[in-house]
Chains A and B, each alone.
Chain A
């Protein structure tokens, strides 16, 4: 089984890769992990991970600059329904649009938009650090306790149009989407690769996940 991490120059690529490898090495049947931006490789993937840090528009542009990259992602994730996980901006890209630095279209795989965090004046932006996550029960959150802390760094968040697509939230102090899910498409606003043992558990759950 092949797991592909999409390389489009994202700053957290290395961290995501290392965390996935560390978890994968403990699996009974480890994946072959490939870091690539080559469409023909992506088309052979059984699972896909899309990292992302920085500005929404820069990430989107970087993906579209690589010939055939987005089309191959769409083919595997939407066409063939292979399990997908987006992290941070890699998750926000799933939205229809973002309002960061003007309006920018996203992949449109999950209805909703990416908007600025609204918080009282004494709340620092970016929302940076460890914050508690509450969630709906799902196998992707197996062996995680309610109110477990995960590591966040972001100024914008994904407001999903449908409640059913938001499976986890945090509070700052208003509710913020912490994870999204739609069929085979999963995304976390927090960084599992930087969230120590609980982050590794999320990665384990994703590696073991078989979306129906």
Chain B
């Protein structure tokens, strides 16, 4: 049986891991390569790096971090943040990323999704969507790391990028991110039940039960979390053991 994936996400700023609460108040939580090694040995199913470096001058450090991580970790590595062009994707893959996640650039230039999927294969292209509730069963997407609102409907957008060849949707709830009150399972199930490609749940996980709900209520194929792992509240093993006890298939 295909396993539900547990994916620790490292927010990386100028080569260091940080994690925000509601996208502000960054706290330094360590060296990405060292953290990646720990997650790799603990049984993470994939790793995700999100580069939040503002200045493009500082982005070179990211490529080095990706390269060093890829040399040490033999599980899939997704890298996102500031990916704007086919050339950006190519450089990340060349440095050892297995998948590249695209957010703002895909919204601004939807053709990029089809082009990237055609050139590197759907399985390489993850579309990251930051969604915020704006009414009953309705969410709008935000761009620029959650700073810029749009009037684009999240569900319609996810259907569109799936049709254009995206391999996966990384779906973050802006309302839940950093709150630790659980995933927005209504958002997850609305999107997941409308598209064929896998949805990765992100934003809001605070305890073990939240992971279970993300699968059973949200219909997520994979569960992403950051701070809950970084500060040692729970290990990957804790999460997987708990999921297995609830009869959810995980790789132990």
Contact = CB atoms under 8 A, between A and B. Distances in A.
Contacts of B251: 130, 149
Interface residues on A, range: 35 or more
A54 B1 contact: no
Interface stretch (B92-100, B132-140, B147-155, B174-182): B92-100
A151 to B, nearest CB: 6
Contact of A11 (B1, B120, B197): B120
A89 B124 CA distance: 13
A156 to B, nearest CB: 11
A48 to B, nearest CB: 21
Query: Main SS of the interface on chain A?
Result: mixed
Contact of B120 (A54, A196, A197, A200): A54
A153 B40 CA distance: 19
Nearest to A203: B74
Nearest to B99: A153
A18 B1 CA distance: 29
Contact of A126 (B5, B76, B95, B167): B167
Given A128-B168, A196-B74, A153 B2 contact: no
Contact of A155 (B2, B70, B122): B122
B144 interface: no
B220 to A, nearest CB: 10
Interface residues of B, number: 32
Interface in B82-136: 93-96, 98, 118-124
B146 interface: no
Contact of A14 (B40, B96, B124, B196): B96
A11 B78 CA distance: 13
Contact of B2 (A22, A58, A131, A199): A131
Interface string B214-247: 0000000110000000000000000000000000
A126 B76 CA distance: 15
B44 to A, nearest CB: 9
B75 A55 contact: no
B34 interface: no
Contacts of A151: 75-76
Interface string A2-21: 00000000011011001100
A128 B121 contact: no
B85 to A, nearest CB: 16
A171 interface: yes
A89 B122 CA distance: 13
The 6 A-B residue pairs with the shortest CB-CB distance in the complex, in nearest-first order = A54-B121, A153-B123, A130-B251, A130-B3, A149-B251, A53-B121
